[in-house]
Structure 1
């Protein structure tokens, strides 16, 4: 929920630059349509846009406490799921809490414990605290990176914001593509935590606190997974998973704002909706839940089943909604609808997007926002419980590379010789893979199969999960909708992380989750094969991608043409047009979908006037 911005400059008087801080704050208007505020001081300025999700008027942010040694000021987005416990801890330590907002709790907790407060808070959040007593800025982000926070450092100062657009509103920032980052532009799942394609622009990595002062920048990781033997039987493990999910979803429902949930009819979203209905029923027997699904105009035509998308969501979603008793809406989207909103999805990101995959989610959230301010989603369950096909393919898992990458061509393979020599795509990929493997929390004495599966889960919790969370967060907050992700609660992840693979997959794909939820789900959901977030199967969209990609690499007016080996790329386009790629592509994409990142990169560079040389 909401958006924050800030500007620290230790060499100039920022109280004279309120117009710039106001402009940065206004760029966050979509994230916070219900209120705004700025705070200025000689060397620090903070701004905030508020989305009210508590059913009461928005509280003032940024929030400042004056101390004898100087002001301490905070601004915050997201929520603390354990706010009640945090309040009790603060009051037990002598603090006096008045209105109990998360920002007030954050300030009190900081005054008591400094950045060690991060060990005490749960939820999806990001915050900025300026400590005028020590002239230090602290930026922090939740453990899994549910909520975003970007920053840009320049000599003597630092800019930060919930989205790049806030930083772009400051004249100190110039949008320039880092050519070394081309691999993550053309395949975003490869991005390392904190990495962006814009020179000098970074994200605070998940589970990190950043400190900025006269001495410069420093980072500290405040949380990470640890590995230890799992003590429970399958039955006890399933019961504990259920207990955790009930508690997590119950806490994330604690709002007076209108609530909804995404519902595809798969195990993940149906589990969330089922437990939400259960929790709502305990609070008020006559309460209901609004659920939503997206379908495409041509779904009625012969559907081409794929391994990752074996069927259409809408019938399963409707059946699940009837079983659960939710108030269900199916949004029907045309190809024209998708194409029409793709520019809006790009502006929601300020970075290269995902074309139709962004657009269909944007349209779904747009429909949900008519009824809801807050919604729940089942995303991240595949990464936590092991739901993708590659988890069950020994021949893929044995490869010493990213298992989700597939075996097909990659756009980065078609860079010009000049850029290939600079970027070194194969070496870059190997280095990224090695860096992540070096961070895997090992369990001494673990057998080879479980040790490899631990690696595979860790790899999926890096780039692939961040791609999913980024899309969800940007598309929803562009519309002022706060979407919460119960499967990203760190306590659930800490527990399931140490469950041996043989228990996770008992009973098949996500067998552990199915066992935990079996008594509240319809049989059709329990028996349904894994089906990823849908994409439109339409020749018009595919032809558009092919036409645009061909223009980008061949036309002298294209700002990206120089980047690619034209002859080799044209051969790739010919093979895609002739349907000759018999390969497994990342995310289960169809052949033309391989070109989305190139097309969106071009459109982003053009619209944002990003310097590419």
Structure 2
């Protein structure tokens, strides 16, 4: 796992701009604390920061191969889980290798197949290849968008990086945010290609972007296709079990300490159980980590999303699999620390407004990094198998909009209530969300003869796998790589995604519950309590001390007359929010204060030019 950066300029001599590529590369040091390197030629500059996971002494980047017609060089971030098989295939085709790294396999794969390499890879990756034979840059991102990748077209080429901060470090990139950027930041629809920063775009998942003297060309190499599902229930469950076992086994491969994130829910517990079984075969004990809050279990109150605390279920799993388990316990002071908020904002480059769910995730990963370098996560299972509560809420399903917005009306309230009224009117978020939903729904391919129910649920699943999951994957990647921790997501293996996506909804819920296929495919490694547990999302603190700490910080912000944050935030609303009783505060108000504080610190750190 690594961080990459680069610059192509056909009308400039980049050998004179070493300081600029060094600055871009330096912003990725958190993603790659183990090594740094650049490769600079007249029209191209590549930068790389390395987090060593496989072949620690080898795999140094940028990596290049000289061919009779020119050099091919690459900067690569990610993991190719099938690199061993690909290496043997390439050897059979005449290639020789100097290292044991997956990076070298990917580079030789490009020499063999060109852009067709993408179809051969199983993994999470974002990489850029400069092909001197054609004077072109090829940028490729994994199918599900696990690894972030951004680019910024210029007058004579392009800037690119794993994260926006790498691009923003170049003097050619402006720090402009317009109304269109703000709409998506608030709207929560994950518009394809969105980056917040004007002129900057994501390399979309499953996409190849090629830059040449003729300009920028984009090609999609993977998307979710509708295919008939012919397996019966027993065969389908067996296939899911087979895939999950293989995926977890592949993703445990590393030359550094590994662990599993354990929340006590079905998803993370299934990964934990499968990982424990695989490691036991190798004579190893699985390590697990969880996040919790002081007093949460004893004082837990059920809410709209969470019926039970996580701790009892975590203990059941850890006891069953015999893991070396560690709880990372957090208090309101740690969660509300402005320094931690700024660390999260630095990691994300955007004011996400997810409050303690962001800061706790960052602190969890920071604690884990002291003992492990690779962690497996249960992220994305809800999108793949249909686990969220709104999948099973008829009103949300038939709402004609994104179900995660329809299910929780409070979600949009907590994201918009603190906005300046004039800004809110300009944004027209209802219109924006309606347009995005219409576009997203129109991109769903259906099978002939699908029932109305199956067609509707296929659309819902497609929205989650192409929109919602990308929000969460970006969050997890940024928070983990900010501390040099690689988090792997078994449920995003494209083989599993394709297979389950085309499984009829009636089969996904054959036992009358959410995630029936996963529940039955992994029941052999789960305690009874977890098999029967209702979906519970990532935890959030219920301690009123957290809300009180936010109020104190917001009062300090209110003393700053003329601050740019009040071009976005309604000063009157924020003042009223600070006067509420923290112990009885509506959670949406707390979330609004969190968002306002994010905006304040983001402006202080990034100094954006806000247009609109």
Matched, 1:175 2:188: no
1:599 alignment partner in structure 2: 597
Choose which of 474, 494, 497 in structure 2 pairs with 1:493.
497
- Please tell me whether the aligned partners of residues 262 and 290 of structure 2 are also in contact (alpha carbons under 8 angstroms): yes
Matched, 1:347 2:346: yes
- Please tell me whether the aligned partners of residues 383 and 464 of structure 2 are also in contact (alpha carbons under 8 angstroms): yes
2:45 alignment partner in structure 1: 45
Choose which of 522, 525, 541 in structure 1 pairs with 2:530.
525
In structure 2, stretches of 5+ residues that fail to align are none
C-alpha change, 1:99 and 1:500, in structure 2 (3 Å) is same
- Please tell me whether the aligned partners of residues 348 and 474 of structure 1 are also in contact (alpha carbons under 8 angstroms): yes
- Please tell me whether the aligned partners of residues 553 and 560 of structure 1 are also in contact (alpha carbons under 8 angstroms): no
TM-superposed CA distance for 1:540, in Å, is: 2.8
* Range with greater deviation from structure 2 (100-109 or 463-472): 100-109
TM-superposed CA distance for 1:34, in Å, is: 1.3
C-alpha change, 1:573 and 1:387, in structure 2 (3 Å) is farther
Report matched runs for 1:95-494 at 5 Å.
95-187=95-187, 189-282=188-281, 284=282, 286-340=283-337, 341-353=340-352, 354-405=354-405, 406-408=408-410, 409-410=412-413, 411-412=415-416, 415=419, 418-420=422-424, 422-494=426-498
TM-superposed CA distance for 1:506, in Å, is: 2.0
TM-superposed CA distance for 1:435, in Å, is: 1.0
Give the TM-score of the pair, scaled to structure 1.
Answer: 0.93
Counterparts of 1:54 and 1:497, CA distance in 2: 31
C-alpha change, 1:564 and 1:364, in structure 2 (3 Å) is closer
TM-superposed CA distance for 1:315, in Å, is: 2.1
SS of structure 1 residue aligned to 2:160:
strand
Give the TM-score of the pair, scaled to structure 2.
Answer: 0.93
* Range with greater deviation from structure 2 (303-312 or 270-279): 303-312
TM-superposed CA distance for 1:238, in Å, is: 0.8
TM-superposed CA distance for 1:164, in Å, is: 1.7
Counterparts of 1:19 and 1:570, CA distance in 2: 45
* Range with greater deviation from structure 2 (308-317 or 414-423): 414-423
- Kindly report the root-mean-square deviation, in angstroms, between the aligned alpha carbons of the 2 structures: 2.3
Q: What's the CA shift string for 1:70-114, capped at 9, x where partnerless?
A: 221111011111112212332233322332422222221112211
Counterparts of 1:480 and 1:253, CA distance in 2: 17
Q: What's the CA shift string for 1:115-158, capped at 9, x where partnerless?
A: 11111111001100011111111111100011111111221131
Q: What's the CA shift string for 1:3-31, capped at 9, x where partnerless?
A: 11111111111011112211211221111
C-alpha change, 1:515 and 1:590, in structure 2 (3 Å) is farther
TM-superposed CA distance for 1:591, in Å, is: 4.3
C-alpha change, 1:229 and 1:573, in structure 2 (3 Å) is farther
Q: What's the CA shift string for 1:203-231, capped at 9, x where partnerless?
A: 11111111111111121111011112211
Counterparts of 1:474 and 1:576, CA distance in 2: 34
C-alpha change, 1:219 and 1:575, in structure 2 (3 Å) is farther
Q: What's the CA shift string for 1:156-203, capped at 9, x where partnerless?
A: 13111111221122111221212222122224x322122011111221
Q: What's the CA shift string for 1:273-324, capped at 9, x where partnerless?
A: 1111111122x2x311110111101314421212322121122112210111
Counterparts of 1:345 and 1:175, CA distance in 2: 19
C-alpha change, 1:336 and 1:420, in structure 2 (3 Å) is closer
Counterparts of 2:580 and 2:436, CA distance in 1: 29
C-alpha change, 1:398 and 1:195, in structure 2 (3 Å) is same
Counterparts of 2:482 and 2:10, CA distance in 1: 32
Counterparts of 2:453 and 2:578, CA distance in 1: 39
In structure 1, stretches of 5+ residues that fail to align are 582-588
